Amino acid sequence: MVLTRKQKEDVIAQYQDSLSQASSVCLFVEKWCTGEDIVLLRKKIRAAWILMKVVRKRIFLMAASQVGFSQTTWLETVLGNIYVLYGTPDNEYSYLKHIIDFTKELKKSGSEAHVSFLGWWFNKQRQDAAYVTELATIPSREVLLGKFLFMVQYPLKWLAMVLDQYAKQKEQA
């Protein structure tokens, strides 16, 4: 659909508003996803109170550079629908896990569809897709605390077993 100049200006203003309010911005592209897949992903993202939009690439690039986001020219070569996730200070990067989980679900279902990170801006500084993927796969705080408690508990458990066996040997002697 061709937009008039006024419509483009309105879209740029919307993008600028969303970009200026976001503490982090993640870009990803999907290939061969069905409409049902995208609706499912949107529901998961919406449940996390994150704004997700499909953007017009050139207009988004203009808005991002005008707001002060660094290194935007690399997006011109990307093919496919570009999706943008706008993070809030309360939820700066945990929403990335929803994309990783969605990708895993697509693989499990045997679908050829896939989702790829393009990059991420945090404090208007660009990070590449590898960085975003690494950040998205970091375990949550709860998982890390559980692992830490297991690591602390494990030696104490063995110490208790050794002391118990030592006490039993003393009783027998």
Q: Tell me if 95 sits within 8 A of 83, measured CB to CB.
A: no
pLDDT in tens, the chain (173 residues): 788 999 999 999 999 999 999 888 999 998 888 888 889 889 988 888 888 999 888 888 889 888 988 777 777 778 878 899 998 887 777 788 888 888 888 889 888 888 888 888 888 888 888 888 888 888 878 888 998 888 888 888 888 888 888 899 888 86
DSSP single-letter state for residue 107? H
CATH of domain 5-138: 3.30.70.1730
Q: Return d(Cα 44, Cα 167) in angstroms, integer.
A: 55
Question: Which residues, in sequence order, are CB contacts of 122 under 8 Å at separation 6+?
Answer: 23, 24, 92, 93
pLDDT at 7: 93
Indicate yes or no: pTM above 0.85: no
How many beta carbons lie within 10 A of that of residue 40, not counting itself? 15
How many beta carbons lie within 10 A of that of residue 49, not counting itself? 10
DSSP single-letter state for residue 126? E
How many beta carbons lie within 10 A of that of residue 53, not counting itself? 14
Q: Return d(Cα 114, Cα 116) in angstroms, integer.
A: 7
Distances (CA, A) of 14 to 34, 110, 127, 168, 171: 27, 37, 23, 74, 79
Structural Rg of the chain based on CA atoms: 23
Question: Which residues, in sequence order, are CB contacts of 42 under 8 Å at separation 6+?
Answer: 52
Percent helix, percent strand, percent coil in the chain, to nearest 5: 55, 20, 25
Domain ranges of the chain: 5-138, 140-173
